[in-house]
Amino acid sequence: MTHSILAQAADSVSYWPLGVLAISVSFIVISIIKLKLHPFLALIFAAVLTGLLTGDLPGMTTENIGLFKDRVALGETPDDTSNDMLLAVNWSLLGFGNTAAGIGFVVALAAIIGTCMLGSGAADRVVRWLLGIFGEKRAGLVLLMSGFLLSIPVFFDTVFFLLIPLARALSLRTGKSYTLYVIAMAGAGAITHSMVPPTPGPLMIADGLQLDLGVAMMAGLAASLLPAWLVLFLAKRFDAKFNIPMREAAGASTSELRTIVDK
């Protein structure tokens, strides 16, 4: 009896959705890295590809559109629907518009706040304030905290370009710990960027689950603390084991790095 139930369950499970996911992610990566396609276009084309690979799509009826916006199961595909390509494009555009309507305004405000912090020097002031409190001996912790905090209102790539000159300058001054500084800064920034609203990913998840934004932010921060501590621990281990030296890089000479750290 048990074996027959398990056999029926195994027969009813389809792994094709995982295959669709793998194909779509691979398409995005190849489009951006190999074909140099703009990420926005790569994501739009991937959404259409996902729709085509999914199979029979529901028609663009008023009822189905309402169900889609309410995030419940869609009805069956009517017999008189348009071709699969047109349906895939229409559903992709509807999904994009629905997501933008839900989180676009908040993301735009977060981008404005981040730009203001960078333009006014507030972000740099935060880093130097932490450095003044903890000192250069704990520069790894300072860069970890800076990346952790600044990646909440500011996009991670911007935070990385803001902090990497300081990490290089501190390594030049201390003569060590370059691996520690870079891993701590980048790891902590990636964590909060991925888990704490108002960055787009966590914000979209909070909107999809209909969570209060304040609750989502507090939960994201709480869930980020342990991974951030783990990043610092591993960064110290990697730095002690590999001790990768800092190399010359375009954009900042040695004299410019000394000026940065002496501010």
Is the same domain home to 167 and 99? no
C-alpha triplet 154, 157, 162: angle, nearest 5° = 75
Contacts 24+ apart (CB under 8 A), 126-130: 126/150, 127/163, 127/166, 128/263
User: Could you tell me what percent of the chain has a pLDDT over 90?
Assistant: 23
Is the same domain home to 65 and 182? no
Query: Residue 166's closest CA among 125, 133, 134, 199?
Result: 125
Which pLDDT belongs to residue 159? 83
Is the same domain home to 222 and 174? yes
Query: Residue 71's closest CA among 54, 49, 93, 94?
Result: 94
Does residue 201 lie in a domain region?
yes
User: Domain count of the chain?
Assistant: 2
Residues near 157 by beta carbon (within 8 Å), at least 6 away in sequence: none
Does residue 188 lie in a domain region?
yes
CA 156 from centre of chain: 8
Does residue 114 lie in a domain region?
no
Is the same domain home to 213 and 241? yes
For the entire predicted model, the pTM comes to 0.64
Does residue 50 lie in a domain region?
yes
The better pLDDT of the pair 41, 2 is held by 41
Is the same domain home to 81 and 43? yes
Mean pLDDT of 229-235: 94
Is the same domain home to 71 and 191? no
The helix or strand, by DSSP H or E, that contains position 223, with its residue range, turns out to be helix 213-242
Query: Residue 207's closest CA among 85, 90, 93, 104?
Result: 104
pLDDT digit string, tens, across residues 151-191 = 888 888 778 888 888 888 888 777 778 889 999 999 999 99
Is the same domain home to 7 and 86? yes
pLDDT digit string, tens, across residues 49-102 = 888 887 766 555 555 555 555 554 455 444 444 566 777 777 777 777 777 766
Residue 12 scores a pLDDT above 90: no
Does residue 116 lie in a domain region?
no
Does residue 113 lie in a domain region?
no
Is the same domain home to 97 and 125? no
The better pLDDT of the pair 140, 103 is held by 140
Per-residue pLDDT band for 2 (boundaries 50, 70, 90) equals very low
Is the same domain home to 136 and 99? no
Q: Average pLDDT, whole number, for the chain?
A: 77
The better pLDDT of the pair 230, 85 is held by 230
CB atoms within 10 A of CB 114: 21
Is the same domain home to 6 and 81? yes
Does residue 187 lie in a domain region?
yes
**Which range is least confidently modeled, 59-63, 92-96, 146-150, 241-245?**
59-63
**Domain carrying residue 44:** 2-104
pLDDT digit string, tens, across residues 56-70 = 665 555 555 555 555
Residue 248 scores a pLDDT above 50: yes
Does residue 38 lie in a domain region?
yes
The helix or strand, by DSSP H or E, that contains position 50, with its residue range, turns out to be helix 39-54
Is the same domain home to 61 and 150? no
The two three-digit tokens of residue 13, written as one number: 């499970």
Torsion on CA atoms 112, 118, 124, 125, rounded to nearest 10: -60
